[in-house]
Structure 1
Amino acid sequence: MAPSTKTAADGSGLTEMSWDPITRIVGSLGIHTKIDFKRKRVAECYSTSSVFRGYSVFMRGKDPRDAHFITSRICGICGDNHATCSVYAQNMAYGVKPPHLAEWIINLGEAAEYMFDHNIFQENLVGVDYCERMVRETNPGVLDLAERTEAPHAAEHGYRTIADIMRSLNPIEGEFYREALAVSRYTREMFCLMEGRHVHPSTLYPGGVGTVASVQLFTDYLSRLMRYVEFMKRVVPLHDDLFDFFYTALPGYEEVGRRRVLLGCWGALNDPDHCDFTYRNMTDWGRRMYVSPGIVVDGKLITNDLTEINLGIRILLGSSYYQDWEGRELFVTHDPLGNPVDPRHPWNQHTIPAPQKRDFDGNYSWVMSPRWFDGTDYLALDTGGGPLARLWSTALNGLVDTGFVKATGHSVIINLPKSMTKPETTFEWKIPQWSNALERNRARTYFQAYMAAMAVYFAEKALEEVRSGRTTTWEKFEVPDQAVGVGFTEAVRGVLSHHMVIRDGKIANYHPYPPTPWNASVRDTLGTPGPYEDAVQNTPIFEENPPENFKGIDIMRAVRSFDPCLPCGVHMYLGDGKTLQKLHVPTGLSGLSG
């Protein structure tokens, strides 16, 4: 959409420009900037969300066994990630360990979700920012160069020039755009084979799954998966060519969307040989995940300990529309290991909405400011759109080695097996120099290949269970009167945790923390901007259009590289039990009363 524009009233000579909405998924994210067109740079940025929801409010008093069915509805895009994370939190609270086969099925379902969602976003949503029509509108000089630039990996993906790649991404008419839409269909089918329904699973429960496991089930999954494997052998080199071109065509483009390396990954895809869902063993089984947890600061792995990660989470109100809960009830004073739990931890959070007029000098969004406290600083972690943090953390950890995927300490090696027309292929994602827009997008492509390779491994493990006669997929449990639970996984866009407190057999407190509150967070109580804001501020402007015809493509690429999606960031609330009732009055009776 065209931005709203006006001259800044502060006499700075800057131009105020706003894009609201900015996302191509849900329209509640606004990006508000002040731009210095003389210096061709963004001077200020504010990220806003205009919608309040409220799962943390209406989850209270509910039966804990309903938690995953309810929280799945937080999002119509990654609802299964919420359901999975909620089930993990319930498994901990109930003290139940699912059968191995159930965990392999969940891993296969989640792998399919990553493949489906990253594909449709990369090719059909963010890919549009790099298509021929967009580049022609914003950087005709770049398109002219693209027409004359041979694609280094043309033999692998089939497009002779960079401009040919760009044309293939044109909405609706582009060949690759349409092909990706077809891929989204069978990847969704893969998910439904494992978890019944997309995007709100119908066969996922604490203690396991209701999926009926058979050789036929996994064969049906594998037949679709190998089509995806074949597809990825073209996609990785295609995007490498496209993103590498922008670095050479526009020197300095590495600064677009760049921020300090402050990445968080909570880990994903449990190993049932090690994961028992107990809090006391969480440090160990967290390190055995097939995506390694970690907090990466300035390129260094600070911790991969889920217990430490959990205790370090802080929810700051910052510039958001809420009242503080200081002085209110603490639900959890110590974790199950006896460690003190901070009042600003999600286990102790109270959500108290305070609607008000937007004020960029005060409060301006419904998104709070999650931070991770390292003992000294409150770090505004981002997820790199999900894949950048996941690959960076996994690479540095050097723990994953399945034969299909190997983390080396400085890279991730991905082995895709032989497919219908292409031989076995190996890709290597190397830790990049920057955390910026292009590398977030590149990581998304490599992580799709990572998930394809891991899904082959998970399917083999599941088939081993079935062929050995171990076909049980669910374990009985009882809901305790008092308990706490936390689930850690990765939603498509990054870190996801569900924090639950049970009292008298009911939910006393429940707080889901998905990637959106981390990425879209606002300036906190210390004045630190959130990741969207930080990534856009100081971003250089390479667009060739004058201010009166400015599209803001570099700003769009910076924000969309995070895969923004706002439903998870904000919540709905009516308050005080109010209900809205719509009555149907039969035709011809509208004038009657009584």
Structure 2
Amino acid sequence: MSVREVFIDPITRIEGHLALRALVDTTTRKPSEVWVYATMFRGFEVFLRGRPPEDAIHITSRICGVCGASHANASMHAVDMAYGVVPEPLGVVLRNMAFAMTDPLYDHPLILNMLGGPDYSELIVKKLTPRVWADAERTDAPHRDIHGFSKISDIMRALNPIEGKIWQLTVKYQRIAREGGVLIYGRHSHPSTIIPGGISTDLTNAEYLLIGYTYRLTKLTAWAKFLYAIWQDITWFYEEYENYKDQGLTYRRHNMVSGGVFDDPEVYSSLGETPEDIYKNIDKAASKRTIKPGAFVNGELVTKSYKEINLSIMEQVDRSFYEDWAGKFPLYTDKDPEGNPLLWGKQDPAYHPWNKITIPKPGARDWNGKYNWAATVRFVWKDGTVVPFEVGPIARLTVTAYQPNDFGSGNGVLKVTLPRSGGADDLPASVVEEMTLEWKAPQYSTTLQRVLARAFNVVVDVADAWHNVLRAVELVRSGKTKTSRPWVAPSRRTFGVGFTEAPRGTVRHWVIQEGGKIVNYQIHAPTTGNVSPKDKWGMSPFEQSVANSVITEEVPPEKWEGLDFVRAIRSFDPCIACAVHIQVGNIKTIKKMIVR
């Protein structure tokens, strides 16, 4: 057997800090061993200690220049809880409206068409898989009456970077989304108006704000219909090939977590007036979110509870460049605010994020030991089961689809009707019409199904934005224009946990405060768990997806570029700046292959 050692560094097209090493059998074209790892450390959890919790909202948004509002919102929810304060209903609505624009409706098309899309463009497909390109030139696009591209090859040509039509449209429409969010947030990507217990947006001219937002939303509604039709056709075309349908498979049985997003204004605004009240009632509020919280373990939806997800998150550093803190520091707590044991008493509560101490410990990379700047994140269930888990659009849509929701009965299908929309002067006339779109939760998470779920997530986010616009109009017309309630930092020690959904998956923030000062703070970006290193419980999603990919490039092994591997990882929309929160050695770009 001939083995080829493949290094790809960087993998992402946006900010790097992510690398891959794989040992590939040149006969089967499949990896026998895989390492995917983060190459950077950032110390947000360290320098937040001692600061006022409200500062964390604005500091943590700097974790990422794309989804800064996602971190700000997770921090916002954690601080709401720790301070015991929640917004007025209009404050909740404005939070929902702003977030829908600045992160999901901006970032999803960006990764689909500009960061991941080139992997399916004419330039790449024709070069590395010429037979696929030839088929694309012969194949009619099933949804050509919606998106206007006659052949699959026409879509691929439109995905060419810079000069392709889809690429160029994405530049325009991501700007429109950011404009809509900035009307409320004040700026992007680091919102200036988010505060504990509300939002500080000036509503002296509420009509102007709502008209400006709605004008942009009508354009994005047409854009959502256009995008979903395109990626339905790309997915369908590739799944016709046997070697592509299961590319990038993560787990045969779902291991997935969603934190949920888009709060119900009446329910969230009535959670209570103390940290304990908010924690006690948080499941009621979370269950009313448009995108639902929940967790799959080995194919079973084991919980829909925000609190139970919190109790189940474990983080360890056996294979990461950090020092183990367990036993070296007193526990902050071994129970949640209701007295439930952290990690269900099956694992050491020191490894729950409320108790984690971030202690970086740089060292030489050891493929059999420490090799990753991301920690190992696992889900611990009540029966003692411990699993790696996936987050992202496919996870949150699957979790939502299997419980009653605004778009379905819980049978695994989501159906969304988007209204008639104007302003699509550079899109086909067909996308102006009212349209009902459907997504069925797949049996497995694969490269193509993750991409398709992201495209449908745009549809869901547009629908929720419309729901919140209409709710805002009702509140303003009825004179309910207050958005916020004042906060006072409790003098005693209190705890907060904030879950939301960034475009790339669940964001989780934990805060402990005392007297208005942060005692401890921990952050899980979506990529933290997705890229975390392998351990005795298995491989995390990135490594699993590469391990289940076969090289389809129609070139000799010495010319492989790892297209299928990067497609698998890019389908998650990886962001390593978010995931690891010091570059060791010289910065360099590596793409090498060594025959053994």
TM-score scaled by length of structure 1: 0.91
Equivalents in 1 of 2:563, 2:243: separation in Å? 15
**1:315 alignment partner in structure 2:** 315
Q: For 1:293 and 1:566, locate their aligned partners in 2 and report how far apart those are by CA, in whole Å.
A: 24
1-side partners of 2:147 and 2:258: how far apart? 31
The runs of 4+ residues in structure 1 deviating greater than 6 Å are none
Alignment pair present for 1:15 and 2:4: yes
Aligned AA (1:515): P
Counterpart residue number, 2:154: 164
Whole-Å separation in 2 of the counterparts to 1:557 and 1:407: 33
The sequence identity of aligned pairs, in percent, is 39
Report the equivalent of 1:223.
Answer: 215
Equivalent residue, structure 2, for 1:552: 562
**Matches of 2:126 and 2:173, distance apart in 1:** 27
Range 196-205 or range 43-52, more displaced = 43-52
Q: In the alignment, is the contact (CA less than 8 A) between 1:53 and 1:573 conserved in 2?
A: no
Q: How does 1:253-402 map to 2 (within 5 A)?
A: 253-260=244-251, 261-275=254-268, 276-277=270-271, 278-327=278-327, 328-341=329-342, 342-375=349-382, 376-383=384-391, 386-398=392-404, 400-401=405-406
Which structure has the higher relative contact order (CA within 8 Å, separation 6+)?
Answer: 2
**Alignment map for 1:41-440 (pairs within 5 Å):** 41-112=30-101, 113-213=103-203, 214-248=206-240, 250-260=241-251, 261-275=254-268, 276-277=270-271, 278-327=278-327, 328-341=329-342, 342-375=349-382, 376-383=384-391, 386-398=392-404, 400-401=405-406, 405-420=407-422, 421=429, 422-440=432-450
1:413-447 Cα offsets, whole Å, 9 max, x none, are 11100112422100011111321000000000000
Report if the CA contact (8 A) 1:318-1:523 is conserved: no
Q: Pick the aligned partner of 1:25 from 3, 6, 14.
A: 14
The question of whether the paired residues in 1 share the 8 Å contact of 2:256 and 2:297 is answered with: yes
How far, CA to CA, are the matches of 1:312 and 1:209 in structure 2?
Answer: 31
Q: Distance in 1 between matches of 2:54 and 2:572?
A: 33
CA offsets 1:199-254 (integer angstroms, 9 cap, x no match): 00011111111112312211110101111111222221111111100111x21312
CA distance, structure 2, for counterparts of residue 313 and residue 93 of structure 1: 19
CA 487–123 in structure 1, closer or farther in 2 if over 3 Å, else same: same
Moved more, 534-543 or 456-465: 534-543
Number of equivalent positions? 555
Deviations for 1:112-132, whole angstroms, at most 9, x for unmatched residues? 120100011111110110001
Deviation, structure 1 residue 572: 5.8
1:454-469 equivalence runs, <5 A: 454-469=464-479
Which secondary structure state, in structure 1, belongs to the residue aligned with residue 256 of structure 2? strand
Q: Cα RMSD over matched residues? A: 1.4
Aligned to 1:5: none
Write the distance in 2 (CA, Å) between the matches of 1:56 and 1:257. 32
SS of the residue corresponding to residue 274 of structure 1 reads helix
Which residue of structure 1 aligns with residue 345 of structure 2?
none
CA contact (8 A) 2:297 2:387 kept: no
Alpha carbons 2:87, 2:485 under 8 Å: kept: yes
Structure 2 CA distance for partners of 1:29 and 1:573, relative to 1, 3 Å: closer
Whether contact under 8 Å (1:545, 1:551) holds in the other structure is no
- Measured in 1, the distance between the counterparts of 2:64 and 2:370 equals 25
- Structure 2 gaps of 5+ residues are 272-277, 343-348, 423-428, 585-596
Q: Distance in 2 between matches of 1:474 and 1:527?
A: 44
Distance of aligned partners of 1:334 and 1:408 in 2 relative to their CA distance in 1, 3 Å threshold: closer
Query: Which residue does 1:502 correspond to in 2?
Result: 513
How many Å apart are 1:407 and its aligned residue? 4.9
Structure 2 CA distance for aligned equivalents of residues 392 and 126 of structure 1: 22
Contact 1:254–1:434 (Cα < 8 Å) also in 2: no
Unaligned residue ranges in structure 1 (runs of 5+): 1-11, 575-594
Report deviation, 1:300: 3.0
SS of match in other structure, 1:91? helix
Q: CA 1:104–1:162 in 2, change beyond 3 Å: closer, same or farther?
A: same
Match of 2:266, SS? coil
**What is the match of residue 571 of structure 2?**
561
Which amino acid in structure 2 is aligned with residue 23 of structure 1? T
CA deviation vs aligned residue, 1:42-100 (integer Å, no higher than 9, x gap): 21110111111111111111111211111111111111111111111111111112011
Q: How does 1:443-462 map to 2 (within 5 A)?
A: 443-462=453-472
Alpha-carbon distance between aligned partners in 2 of 1:527 and 1:99, rounded to the nearest angstrom: 44
> Does the residue aligned with 1:266 lie in a helix, a strand or coil?
strand
2:293 and 2:399 in contact (8 A); partners too: yes
Mapped partners of 2:23, 2:534: distance in 1: 16
Query: Given the superposition, is the C-alpha separation of residues 573 and 168 from structure 1 closer, same or farther in structure 2, using an over 3 Å criterion?
Result: closer
The residue aligned with 1:532 is 542
Kindly indicate whether residue 473 of structure 2 is the aligned counterpart of residue 484 of structure 1. no
Q: 1:89 to 1:253 in 2, by over 3 A?
A: same
- Following TM superposition, by how much is the alpha carbon of 1:255 offset from its aligned partner in structure 2, in angstroms? 2.0
1:325 is displaced (CA, Å) by 0.9
